[in-house]
Amino acid sequence: MFKHLILVATLAAASTQVLAAGGHDLKPKHGGVVQEVRDITYELVARGGKLAVHLDDHGKPVPTAGASGRATVLRGTEKSEVDLVPAGDNRLESRTPIEAGAGAKVVTVVTLPGKPAATARFTLK
């Protein structure tokens, strides 16, 4: 009986987290930082001097063909900007290197075809 109670409590806690996020799983799938904007999940990954943004809608990849984006990185008093271009099914990435380490604040503006621009704000870990 006790094992069943623990299982029920665990499942209830997990479903509450998903429901609180509007039905989206906000856990990183690519090792980045996740934000939700207008029912789209944006995961920012900073690796090897480049930025990548993965887009999902309720676990389904959001096509980025024809999309455009820009990322602004704030590190202390320094500000850097880089364009984000389509780089796969549901990914935009920077083509030019940019410094973005732990603690940096990143603001992305992504425009999908036929949709208004969406802004997501991240703090890198």
Q: Which residue has the tokens 């320094």?
A: 78
Q: Is the pLDDT of residue 22 over 80?
A: no
pLDDT, tens digit, 9 for 90 and up, residues 48-88: 999 999 999 998 999 999 999 999 999 999 999 999 999 98
What is the span of the domain harbouring residue 60?
Answer: 29-123
Q: Is residue 2 part of a domain?
A: no
Given a cut of 80, is residue 8 above it in pLDDT? no
DSSP 28: -
94-114 pLDDT, tens digit per residue, is 999 998 989 999 999 999 999
Look at residue 12 and tell me if it is in a domain. no
Query: Is the residue at 83 inside a domain?
Result: yes
What's the mean per-residue pLDDT of the chain? 85
Overall number of domains in the chain: 1
Confidence of residue 7 (pLDDT cuts 50, 70, 90): very low
Nearest to 124 by CA among 57, 51, 24, 54: 51
Is there a domain that residue 62 lies in? yes
Percent helix, strand, coil in the chain (nearest 5)? Answer: 15, 45, 40
CA distance 57 to 81: 26
Please provide the size of the chain in residues. Answer: 125
Give the domain CATH number at 90. 2.60.40.3340
Domain presence at residue 24: no
Helices (H), 1-125: 2-20
Q: Residue 91 domain-assigned?
A: yes
Instruction: Compute the distance between CA of residue 65 and CA of residue 62 in angstroms, rounded to an integer.
Output: 9
Residue 33 lies in a domain: yes
For the entire predicted model, the pTM comes to 0.78
Residues 86-96 have pLDDT tens digits of 998 999 999 99
